[in-house]
Amino acid sequence: MGAVTSALALVGVEVVGDYAVSSLTTAQWQTLAGLKPRLKPQVILYCHHYRGSPWPVVEDSLNQQHFHISPAAYSVLQRLDGNTTVARLADSWPGDDPQAELTQLLLGLYQANLLAGDFPVLAQNLVSRSQRGRWQRWLNPLAQRLPLINPDAWLKRCQPVTDKLFSAAGWWGWVALMAITVLVAAGHSYELKHHWHSRFLDPGNLLWLPLVYVVMKLFHEWAHGAMIRRFGGQCSEAGVMFLVFMPLPYVNAGAANSLPRSQRLWISAAGILAECAMAAVGLITWAMAGQGLLQDLAFNVLVVGFAASLLFNANPLMKFDGYYLLADAVQIPSLASRANQYLGYLWQRYGLGLASAHSPAELPGDKPWLAGYGIAAGAYRILILCWIVSFLAQRWLWAGLLVALWALAGQWLLPAAKGLWSQWHKCYAERREWRLLGVVAGSAAALYCLAFVMPLPHTSYAQGVVKLPDAAVFSAAPGFVDTILVADGQWVAAGAPIIQLRNTELQLQANKLRAELAEQRQLRQASLVRQPAQAQAAAMAMELVTAKLADLEQQLASLTLTAPRAGRLALPAAQNLPGRWVEEGDVLAHVFDGQQLQAQVLINQQDLAAISASAGTVRVKSALQPNHTFAAHISNLSPKAIDQLPSPVLGSAGGGYIPVDANDSQGLTTLQSWFVAELDLPASMMAPVVPNRLHVQFVHQNQPVGVQLWRHLRRWWLAHSDMG
């Protein structure tokens, strides 16, 4: 959805914008005081009410822009009819400095193009924000917007259908669809997980994701526009925005600002509801379709729909639908900008001690919301920027570096420099410049100590599997698992029966051969005297049948699986074995001889140096014992790189995090080189771990976070520099 509120807001008498205002000379003020400004015809004034308090709004109906103003500014705007001079307006202004404050208000109105006529005296004192704003928009590499069409006529033609969708019956239909989705997902949880690992992460399937996302985004924006029409508003702008260089459709939903709060909530939620509905249809289609392209596309719709809703659109920390839902739900307009202003107020009032600092928290209960949202949204914005930089750098290294430089300079350094310069003037006016210097120096020293002096825990993470022994218990013949004769973890003697298989077909074949053997024996006995040739043929047939029967009896005997040696039995998932069909050669269990148990852990090249140089603690968790941590130590660290996994459970096709080649049916060929570390495991882990995945934590010597970050950046650069 497009911006619901304009970024250029008039809050109180202070224009929140990025332009410089110089003081008016006496002659300029005299010229301005004699003017009789009036608002343009398309400007509409009205009030929203939040928690019983009025919030005046200025609407530019032609451009669908909306501005919040203070009650004092609202009373002034009501008198901008072309008959009242600026001098008379200043006489009734309630502020401490009527000339300066009223001038700033008029400058904001002039800059927003809300005043009719020309005002040279204002233009002379205004460094154009519009030109700088245009440059800032074009210099923003993450979000560009290109208006294309007016979709209102098309939305109007669709309104008879959309009004039925966005009705009480449509709402309960959506609820029923979500309930069905939960039931289908619960009944196919294993299949969903298997499809995720085996098909969704396939490079060929990932190529469809951008197309699926764009189509779903088109329906998402259509839902916003249709909901606006449902409540009598107009949607006059639609186009394409480029988010991280990806073209996506958008609609300008600014008309929602003039609607009541309950209707604004539905408009903000329309896109989320549409995406969830599409995801639900995708899940049901996936469950009904056979294996193929349709099932893959349906699964893509499922993942994209729920991921886009939960991670982005419904996330209130980003200025998408969830943000506007939260702002209207808690009745705090302009939540993001006021949260930033409140954090700035706390810094100025309590950090710098400025008595002139004004809190934007005007209603009871605003303070915790503004402080909490400002901190959470700022931290989340940093995480998202880091993710975007990493995402771009993995594909186009220099694009990632340019975005990183833009974020560092444009999002942090320049705003910090502007803020400090502005606060210097305020501190100088109140004779608190030394406090500013002290606070800044103290903060810089504290950050330096935290980043480069104070040691913090330093760890690396990896995955591995238990190194399987040679004594494997495997099936010598196919059959169904009939009985488990020994419990998992029990000590067994060499040759002891462990598992009994059952193969009815082999038994029937053996019985048939026994009957045939008896028949040939009788025929031979009857033919010995009168028909010696027939007796000789029967004897030869008996030899063939006897050989076949011996082979079948050997296979039947092999249906009893025995321990290849004495030791402790490792029989994973024993409760799932009875009734399972196994093929010849399938490994069902292992027998450990009681000696040292070892694990094979895969380490990437970036962590190899830190692990090889460290003799710290190694902690291991088993997937079957997630609540228990075991101590281990490194027995061998091979310098030879490998591209074959020791077990498929470590690869992405088997549920691990290591990407594997989709063309490898065994799921063992990796897409990059890895190194193997062998760990000695404690005896307490012997029974339940084979062949499940191990989660390993290598604890290194404590280091300051700045040093750790530098090493991570250096490793990241070495890992991706060959992609530029």
Q: What architecture is the 463-467+593-723 domain classified under in CATH? A: Beta Barrel (2.40)
Amino acid at 79: R
Q: What is the pLDDT of residues 66-95, one digit of tens each?
A: 887 877 788 888 888 888 888 888 887 776
CB of 279 closer than 8 Å to CB of 301: yes
Helix (H, G, I), strand (E, B) or coil at 37: coil
User: pLDDT band for position 374 (50/70/90)?
Assistant: very high
Residue 15 pLDDT: 34
User: pLDDT band for position 251 (50/70/90)?
Assistant: confident
Nearest to 679 by CA among 637, 626, 648, 616: 637
Helix (H, G, I), strand (E, B) or coil at 600: strand
Residue 129 pLDDT: 46
Measuring CA to CA, how many Å separate 573 from each of 195, 626, 687, 688, 690? Answer: 22, 16, 12, 9, 10
Mean pLDDT, all residues of the chain: 80
Residues 6+ apart with CB under 8 A from 402: 141
Q: What is the pLDDT of residues 504-543, one digit of tens each?
A: 888 888 888 888 888 877 877 777 767 777 777 877 888 8
- With a cut of 70, say whether residue 556 has pLDDT above it: yes
CB of 654 closer than 8 Å to CB of 667: yes
Residue 8 pLDDT: 38
User: pLDDT band for position 280 (50/70/90)?
Assistant: very high
C-alpha torsion sign, points 255, 259, 263, 265: positive
Out of 155-169, 259-273, 627-641, 646-660, least confident range: 646-660
d(CA 264, CA 328): 8
CB of 513 closer than 8 Å to CB of 549: yes
Mean pLDDT of 433-447: 87
Residue 16 pLDDT: 31
Q: Please measure the distance between the N-terminal and C-terminal CA atoms of the chain and give it in whole angstroms.
A: 34
Mean pLDDT of 245-254: 78
User: pLDDT band for position 192 (50/70/90)?
Assistant: confident
User: pLDDT band for position 373 (50/70/90)?
Assistant: very high
Region for residue 518 given its phi and psi (left: phi exceeds 0; alpha: psi -120 to 50; beta: otherwise): alpha
Residues 6+ apart with CB under 8 A from 433: 424, 427
Residues 6+ apart with CB under 8 A from 641: 605, 673, 674, 675
- With a cut of 80, say whether residue 449 has pLDDT above it: yes
126 vs 597, higher pLDDT:
597
d(CA 321, CA 250): 12
d(CA 352, CA 433): 9
User: pLDDT band for position 4 (50/70/90)?
Assistant: very low
Helix (H, G, I), strand (E, B) or coil at 95: coil
Mean pLDDT of 133-147: 58
Mean pLDDT of 499-503: 88
| Cis upstream peptide for 691 (omega within 30°) | yes
Helix (H, G, I), strand (E, B) or coil at 533: helix
Residue 647 pLDDT: 82
Residue 342 pLDDT: 92
Residue 183 φ/ψ, nearest 5 degrees: -65, -45
Residue 691 pLDDT: 56
Q: What is the pLDDT of residues 488-498, one digit of tens each?
A: 778 888 888 98
Mean pLDDT of 356-375: 87
Cβ atoms < 10 Å from Cβ of 453: 10
Residue 376 pLDDT: 93
Share of the chain above pLDDT 70, in %: 85
d(CA 107, CA 445): 40
Residues 6+ apart with CB under 8 A from 362: 53
Strand partners, 479: 582
Residues forming CATH 2.40.30.170 domain(s) in the chain: 463-467+593-723
Region for residue 416 given its phi and psi (left: phi exceeds 0; alpha: psi -120 to 50; beta: otherwise): alpha
Q: What is the pLDDT of residues 50-71, one digit of tens each?
A: 887 888 888 887 777 788 787 7
Residue 137 pLDDT: 52
- With a cut of 50, say whether residue 13 has pLDDT above it: no
Nearest to 603 by CA among 587, 623, 618, 588: 618
403 vs 141, higher pLDDT:
403
| Residue-wise DSSP of 154-207 | HHHHHHHHHHHHSSHHHHHHHHHHHHHHHHHHHHTHHHHHHHIIIIITSHHHHT
User: pLDDT band for position 121 (50/70/90)?
Assistant: low
Residue 596 pLDDT: 65
Q: Please tell me what DSSP assigns to residue 208.
A: T
Question: Rounded to two decimals, what is the model's pTM?
Answer: 0.66
d(CA 449, CA 454): 6
Helix (H, G, I), strand (E, B) or coil at 38: strand
d(CA 506, CA 504): 5
d(CA 305, CA 217): 9
- With a cut of 60, say whether residue 141 has pLDDT above it: no
User: pLDDT band for position 20 (50/70/90)?
Assistant: very low
Residue 7 pLDDT: 32
